[in-house]
A and B are shown apart, each in its own frame.
Chain A
């Protein structure tokens, strides 16, 4: 019986043998890259909102403190979206006729809430708590980015579990003095001179000191499953 495959196909067979693992690897790498891509995670996405609210204007230009609107960030797991009343505190006086603010006035008049589109969507099995992060010295900017420069609010972080865990393993990379938590422009160099080295603080040096001072727990504890999943 004649052979099914002629000898000339041997190089192709070799290429297939060599190529398949490469292809599998490439698929894996592509998949992992895709999984982390902004397309998949939504980093940089700006969901449409019923009111074109600008953090850049309110925080960056006017300098309104985060807690003026997000009142529960220090006392609750949930950093609340301000009630319409908070908007109206100022907008009864200024820009009271602006078209842009029509949905806000309408909401206040008819007592129907404004339905915002959530920018940072966590899965339902992840129980993130704002208050403890703020209390331990994690700045708003560490997760939310430079809101003072955002005209429309966008998602700044991947919100992947590896992103959460990275900080829970090495919180020193993101800790800052408690009084600087809401400061959008802060970095470690503003913390002054490190007595030990005689040079300005690096984030790592300061972070390790603050980790001790703020009684941040160790990496093992912070990465326990039940810290976030209940």
Chain B
């Protein structure tokens, strides 16, 4: 049909509801959105801040003067020093990075990592393929941990009441308390040691020894984000403390009850990998038998699973995920079926499910609509059909009785021992954590403590709940001048300033240690650099204070290396915790074992021992009857607390990468918010307005709401606690509930990012980023009833106090108007279908309806892997050049671009490479590990909240989160998809032909090279890029001043300054590095030899890189999958980055 030219866009509905959309403003067709989306650099974005003519003239004058001064130095490079070692370490070759195995700690657990060291500076974290909690992947926190090392606000010394002193003096003061006269332990001393969860065998052993020496000492563990509910629920179910891990590789059906198992928790990286493996469709994938065999050492493990379109979809190896959740999570976003329920409703839902599954002694609860009943029944049927091959996972914050019930469900379904593994606890001490802190605070108030040691990441002065006033107790405690307290931590934080002594803590990359992963496997942490500020670890501190009497120098620390090593030499001690630990006959054998453990980053035989045939305890259901949801009074909303997706409990508040990283689901950067559903927002009368003008490209003006919680304090009094928070309307959030994230509103996080002068938070406080919700919590509550009201409320909806949030969800839209009809084009960014669609037509993703007539031609324009017979390595065939490509049927004649391979007629066949990337959207969970990995690898700057609102963030990878649906604001109707978008390295690159200075040109292997030193900043390339993946340095966004930050940069990548365009390079530094090694050795580059930063970080293995000239390369196989498609391939850009369509596996019996 011919397009009707008279059909104007004004007559069209703003956004058809079945289309993908990224923000509510886009969905609702907010005024100005379309114009702004079309305009890559919004009006005013390119101006300097507060532009004025006078200032402009000042700048001009200054730059002329500077140009004159710079002209004196004609040379491109200034005279520099060159400083060799005095004695060069044996293993080090200057210029060649080394990798060391270690483990990144997170809330007491470790994820195995390999750390790159450039001339002794740790610069990049990679996953450790040998570590069971990693399998080569990492997460945002592990990636960003390297920046913590270089945090300029880290504590740089030992202080006593704020006055600098020395470590020796601190130790002497502490020892003076602990020991009397000739090293006799003062056994009457009431010592309290406060830590977070400890899994380190060495540290646990030290604490044990300490507690033996001081019989009146107690060890208190405090985690603001505790797993206490899960622990005690499982203990109730099975009669003893157990650790639960899951095998998602064997799970056909997964039910997630408000659990973000793919993106949070100590096992998330591993779970992502296993889960995604059951989502990838591969022609050469695993069959059922290979799947059952699982991962085995020394055997190749095929990627993905086979799908036979003709077979019964019930027997498909593609897994199915049901999610029931309150606050949308990334796990829920990739679920096949999802319903939104409040935490209270989830409890009732679990009861009803258990009743449906015939778990003995459980009756249903709650009142459900017909559709919900059907949902539940079909879910139950599906679970029952997959007995022993299903998993039910409950979120850590659900009440203990829900965990007991979930354990019973898993037991009834026969999953325990199959997909749900119960092992001995991994933590050194599991028992009562919040109650211990409560006791400690009472003791401090009563001054029945003599010495308090606060060690590590525990920061109770900030994160203790309202009814445990740790800060107040500390002040009370120190009213008695004889009392002693010492804090060991990385920052002079809220807790540090309340303690007498503060010792700066060493980062995990600076010291020796050991730590256990989610399944209990121990990793040895080794230092890569001497402590930058002379910090000490908790292990060192304990050794120093407990040193044996014969040590000649008081307080002389033993080498931390010896301390950790000696733990593992005590075979008998080790055997107690690790029954599978190998028996080592001789000292020499130990040395071999130790070297291997340090080298590989994994201690063999230390995985927690699996419980043999665990059965439910007889009285498992005795607490069920009393189990309730949160008490929500009439007129109140259910307020849910969650750890922040990036800052966690607040410990990462001074990490610029994690602050700026758009939250994986909400895409808000630099802030937390109170999340409500569209319906609840309507009730509260709150609105969000995107400012799309004046250079603001994602500045969201939102209403401030006040949350009021009746808090019962320790003394029994009730108090109304109020917190002001910006309200954010989040599609998919359960109605009648509010979710807030912990971790913001810190007052002493550091100057680097937590302070923003003149940028007040929603409560009007200066220099505090976000709002702190810990004062609203009591005990380890995760949900309470709360009143919520718009602040400064006028009658009109949306009026009242405002706050602005930086949200990147609308940034870099690939918007384009049809030049003929004037309608916005549907770019079909994420192509998606169900397993049934796939069975019907596996090539469903290849059909862009807007150009159906040319489908074949367009699909052919995605560069396909070559299917040519391999020629010998040394063959040099001159006829194989441009001539051949003239007959290449895939090319369209009359093209202004040269075919990439035709550029190099003289290159040997064996040295011809066509680099390409493929991303499997079925496997992507949007966790954003790739974004931080890219930032770390490519020296991408942190720009700050204000700049983010102007669309000036510099991420080379954008993870777009698209929504679909939301009919009638029904939270269950919305679906979400993730799409990482970076430079696709077009073979016909529109950016290249418009660059006036040739700063972006094509390389022979098909990369779209960006040459910073040539770029003059016209930004034509960015204008002409249909993918909107180019980033311009509008200002000097890099930190050129801070010394420690410089240490952490990747020396292989230029640090870009103002006025330069940049974009994803496919990690060209890694490509050229591997090329040089291969060329030096005269061999081809092996498949898998080059991993891009995003690829190696990806926990779910959703990204693959390689040479599509090699038909056997993984990337070629991915691209030959029928569901592979090129984004905007209809433009004939021939993108080298292609996507595999999302294939989900919905249950056909489920209600719509």
Contacts and interface: CB of A to CB of B under 8 A. Distances in A.
B1013 A229 contact: yes
Contacts of B1014: 225
Interface stretch (A11-19, A93-101, A194-202, A214-222): A214-222
B722 interface: no
A200 B584 CA distance: 67
A25 B74 CA distance: 21
Given A215-B908, A221-B904, A225-B1009, A83 B84 contact: yes
A191 interface: no
Contacts of A115: 81-83
Nearest to B1003: A224
B96 to A, nearest CB: 5
B195 to A, nearest CB: 38
A226 B1013 contact: no
B911 to A, nearest CB: 6
Contact of B907 (A218, A225, A227): A218
A129 interface: yes
A131 interface: yes
A220 B904 contact: yes
B568 interface: no
Contact of B1052 (A35, A117, A230): A230
A107 B905 CA distance: 54
Contact of A226 (B86, B96, B906, B1072): B1072
Nearest to B89: A83
Given A72-B93, A217-B907, A221-B904, A123 B84 contact: no
B906 A114 contact: no
A84 B1054 contact: no
Interface in B695-726: none
Contacts of B1055: 124
Given A85-B87, A217-B907, A72 B74 contact: no
A200 B380 CA distance: 87
A121 B75 contact: yes
A114 B907 contact: no
A30 B1130 CA distance: 51
Contact of A83 (B85, B1001, B1010, B1052): B85
B1007 interface: yes
Interface stretch (B462-470, B1076-1084, B1120-1128): B1076-1084
A132 B85 contact: no
A126 to B, nearest CB: 8
A136 interface: yes
B1069 to A, nearest CB: 5
Given A40-B75, A76-B94, A117-B79, A82 B1072 contact: no
B911 A215 contact: yes
Interface in B851-906: 874, 876, 903-906
A71 B93 CA distance: 8
B1076 A131 contact: yes
Contacts of B876: 212
Contact of A40 (B74, B83, B905, B1068): B74
Contacts of A40: 74-75
Given A76-B95, A80-B94, A218-B904, A116 B83 contact: yes
Nearest to A74: B1080
Contacts of A121: 75, 77-80
Nearest to B1055: A124
A78 B95 contact: yes
Nearest to B876: A212
Interface string B1004-1028: 1101011111100000000000000
A230 B96 contact: no
B16 to A, nearest CB: 42
Contacts of A85: 85-88
A27 interface: no
B1069 A230 contact: yes
Nearest to A113: B83
Interface in B1053-1084: 1053-1055, 1065, 1068-1069, 1071-1072, 1076, 1079-1080, 1082
7 contacts: A75-B93, A75-B96, A76-B94, A81-B82, A83-B85, A113-B84, A215-B911
Interface of A: 34-35, 40-42, 47, 71-72, 75-78, 80-85, 107-108, 111-118, 121-127, 129, 131-132, 135-136, 159, 212, 215, 217-221, 224-227, 229-230
Given A47-B79, A123-B1013, A212-B876, 17 more contacts: A42-B75, A76-B93, A80-B84, A81-B83, A84-B85, A85-B87, A85-B88, A116-B82, A117-B82, A127-B1072, A131-B1080, A215-B1079, A217-B908, A218-B906, A221-B911, A224-B1007, A225-B1001
By Cβ-Cβ distance, the 7 closest A-B pairs, closest first, are A78-B95, A76-B95, A218-B906, A224-B1003, A121-B77, A83-B85, A123-B76
